[in-house]
């Protein structure tokens, strides 16, 4: 029992250290992913309606502005989904009509429209009201933020998303939002932006598989399991360096590196190889 609590304390210590790493080195990347300094500081539609700005993110798209805008208009569970990690949304009860939509067939939003988070009426409702629309320019959603499409050339555009922050009177809720909410939202929003980019660039008729996302997430999850198991095996503060290094690699790979299976599987392989090696060394010590 004493060893169990020691392992829990080590895990809590590692979490505290990784939070320090996040706020010192990763937070700015998470909040301004892909955006220039000018984009992060510029005024955008809807800024006046929010207490503060959580993030401004951007992505270049090798497609005309009109194509990017047309795919942006497909957002919504009863439209084309959110082009993010559908299996995560589904596990949370948020079901989209068709996660593999191949045509941008829905018309533009109008102010007052509701973008539904799920077609499953039994799930927790978390919908987005359309506050304003400037055709092929900007879309402002309540509870999310501002979407802006910029033309870079005849065949290239840029999608900018600014997330509006919500004030919490409870300090614990504020900390939870900052430590968990913002990084989690980043992972989902980054995938949404990449999903819109992929569809705008390939054009209609292309069906996208969810397998790559599932493999990437599996690698991330298995790496985390190996890290936790490693802590319970070492159970020693003097041996914390290895879990610290691997957990740092893990958080960097999740937040900094492009979400591709090859990266998450490489981290998972390294984590499990380390775990097996330490386990075998511990077994020899007890013989």
Please, what is the average pLDDT of the chain? 90
pLDDT value of position 239? 67
Higher pLDDT, residue 5 or 56? 56
**Cβ(164)–Cβ(146) below 8 Å:** yes
pLDDT value of position 84? 94
pLDDT value of position 49? 82
Mean pLDDT of the 132-138 span: 96
Q: What's the length of the chain? A: 287
Q: What six digits make up the tokens of 122?
A: 């039994």
Q: How far apart are CA 170 and CA 154, in angstroms?
A: 48
Q: How far apart are CA 26 and CA 19, in angstroms?
A: 10
Give yes or no for residue 38 having a pLDDT over 90: yes
pLDDT over 70 for what percent of the chain? Answer: 94
CA dist 147 to 55, 90, 132, 137, 193, Å?
A: 12, 24, 11, 8, 10
Give yes or no for residue 273 having a pLDDT over 60: yes
pLDDT value of position 276? 93
Which CATH class, in words, describes the domain spanning 33-208?
alpha beta
Give yes or no for residue 39 having a pLDDT over 60: yes
Give yes or no for residue 238 having a pLDDT over 60: no
Q: Taking the CA of residue 208 as centre, how many other CA atoms within 13 Å lie in the half-sphere pointing to its CB? A: 27
Tell me, yes or no, if the pTM score tops 0.85. yes
Higher pLDDT, residue 169 or 179? 179
Domain ranges of the chain: 2-26+213-286, 33-208
What does 105-121 look like in DSSP terms, one character per residue?
-SPPP-TT-EE-S-S-T
């Amino acid at each position: 029992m004493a060893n169990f609590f020691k392992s829990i304390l080590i895990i809590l210590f590692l979490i505290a250290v990784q939070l320090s790493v996040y706020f010192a080195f990763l937070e700015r990347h998470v909040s301004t992913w892909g955006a220039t300094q000018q984009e992060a500081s510029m005024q955008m539609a809807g800024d006046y309606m929010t207490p503060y700005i959580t993030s401004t993110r951007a992505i270049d798209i090798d497609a005309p502005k009109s194509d990017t805008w047309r795919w942006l208009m497909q957002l919504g569970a009863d439209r084309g989904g959110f082009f993010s990690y559908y299996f995560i949304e589904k596990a949370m009860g948020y079901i989209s009509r068709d996660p593999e939509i191949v045509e941008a067939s829905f018309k533009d939003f109008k102010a007052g429209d509701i973008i539904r988070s799920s077609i499953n009426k039994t799930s927790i409702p978390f919908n987005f009201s359309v506050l304003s629309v400037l055709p092929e320019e900007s879309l402002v959603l309540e509870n999310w933020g501002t979407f802006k499409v910029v033309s870079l050339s005849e065949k290239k555009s840029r999608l900018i998303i600014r997330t509006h922050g919500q004030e919490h009177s409870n300090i614990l809720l504020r900390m939870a939002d900052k430590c968990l909410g913002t990084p989690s939202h980043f992972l989902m929003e980054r995938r949404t932006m990449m999903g819109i980019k992929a569809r705008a660039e390939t054009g209609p008729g292309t069906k996208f598989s969810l397998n790559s996302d599932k493999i990437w997430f599996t690698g991330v999850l298995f790496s985390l399991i190996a890290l936790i198991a490693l802590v319970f095996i070492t159970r020693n503060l003097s041996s914390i360096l290895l879990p610290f290094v691997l957990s740092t690699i893990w958080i960097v790979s999740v937040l900094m590196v492009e979400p591709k299976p090859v990266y998450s599987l490489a981290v998972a392989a390294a984590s499990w190889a380390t775990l097996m090696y330490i386990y075998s060394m511990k077994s020899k010590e007890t013989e």
